[in-house]
Structure 1
Amino acid sequence: MLSNTRKLCDAARGKGVSVYFATIHFRPSYPEVSPLNRNGQGIKQLGRFVDDQISPELGQQATEPLIIAHRAGVFFGTDLRVRLSAQGIDTLLMVGIASTG
């Protein structure tokens, strides 16, 4: 999957298409997780998404934004929508292991 995704990213870059990366990330004490958020509490109990990083095999370029999400949806509570709008981007191709949240 990583090599195919890298090929897709490289093809997009070659055509001048913007490539963005996104990840779910929390600080070690999980201050972003409400006690009322069941999914967040499960993630907290498992100790997930604290030290995760974008796989180097994907070849993220220094100019490619990393969107940090604190929920399963990359649009909620992030600046992705503003970034896309500012660039006039109105179409997305999303890929990933679980791109539906």
Structure 2
Amino acid sequence: MNSGMDSGIEDDYAAAGFGQSLDWGARPAVLVIDMVRAYFQPGAELYMGSRDCLDAAARVVSAARAAGVPVVHTRVAYGPGGVDGGLFFRKVGALRHFVTGSGSDLGDIMPEVAPRLDELVITKQYASAFFGTSLSATLASQGIDTLVLCGVSTSGCVRATAVDAISHGYVPIVVRQAVGDRDPGPHEASLFDLAAKYAEVWDEAAVTKRLTP
């Protein structure tokens, strides 16, 4: 699985049959998950402390556009008082920054990966980009079979989206350098678990090479 975890753990998982390979399909799309100002603006409550994953995601998006591969974006937004956020909104207090009409710009997608006019933006209320949205139907209508995932956070919305992607029949390819988290611990543990059970974890260079015509 080529992770940063202890080799003994990797051997144990491999012996149990985890980490089998999924093949990149014939029709990929890139999904840019929640790359909004809240995670990259110093001083913001959700600030992650680094923008490395944003820069990597921008390169993946650029490669996808050059190859004519569809790019889809997600952002989070809630109605007044977070009425449509349910228990998730209550559990994560910082989600209040994504309430529509609050006057905050923290829900704005970063300019490095800003959607073009011809690219779909999915607005979601929960961790997974699939839950309560039209994403699966949209991908199916375009014959998409492989979903290249960039975004934040690795242990949260990226992981939830990858689990739902494989559950809906899409091959999830998580771009290691193009996803990020608040701390290396949850980040690396999530990448290990995703590679073991739910997704392929590829380096950025391999993804951009595969996307290049």
Bin of the TM-score, shorter chain as denominator length: 0.7 to 0.9
Aligned length: 97
Q: What is the aligned partner in structure 1 of residue 97 from structure 2?
A: 48
The structure with more strand, counted as a fraction of residues = 2
The aligned counterpart of 2:56 is: 4
Q: Could you tell me whether the CA contact under 8 Å between 2:54 and 2:151 is conserved in 1?
A: no
SS of equivalent to 1:14: helix
How far apart, CA to CA, are the structure 2 residues paired with 1:96 and 1:48?
A: 18
Q: Who is 2:188 aligned against? A: none
> Alignment partner of 1:93: what SS?
strand
Contact in 2 for aligned 1:69/1:77 (Cα 8 Å):
yes
**8 Å Cα contact 1:25/1:70 also seen in 2:** yes
Task: Please say which of residues 48-57 and 68-77 is displaced more in the overlay.
Answer: 48-57
- TM-score (normalizing by structure 1): 0.85
Give the corresponding residue for 2:133: 78
Return the index of the structure with the highest Cα Rg: 2
Q: TM-score, normalised by structure 2?
A: 0.43
SS, match of residue 80 in structure 2: coil
* Equivalences for residues 1-101 of structure 1 within 5 A: 1-34=53-86, 37=87, 39-43=88-92, 45-46=93-94, 47-50=96-99, 51=104, 52-98=107-153, 99-101=158-160
Deviation track 1:10-54 (CA, whole Å, cap 9, x = no partner) reads: 1001111000001222123212023xx2x32133x4423234011
Q: Which of structure 1's runs of 4+ aligned residues deviate more than 2 A? A: 48-51
Uncovered stretches (5+) of structure 2, i.e. residues with no partner:
1-52, 161-213
Q: Hey, what's the Cα distance between the residues in 2 that align with 1:40 and 1:56?
A: 26
Give the stretch that moved more between structures: 53-62 or 6-15: 53-62
- Aligned-pair identity in percent equals 30
Q: Is the 8 A contact 1:6 1:59 kept in 2?
A: no
Structure 1 spans left out of the alignment, 5+ residues: none
1:55 deviation in Å? 0.6
Equivalent pair of 1:23/1:68 in contact (CA under 8 Å): yes
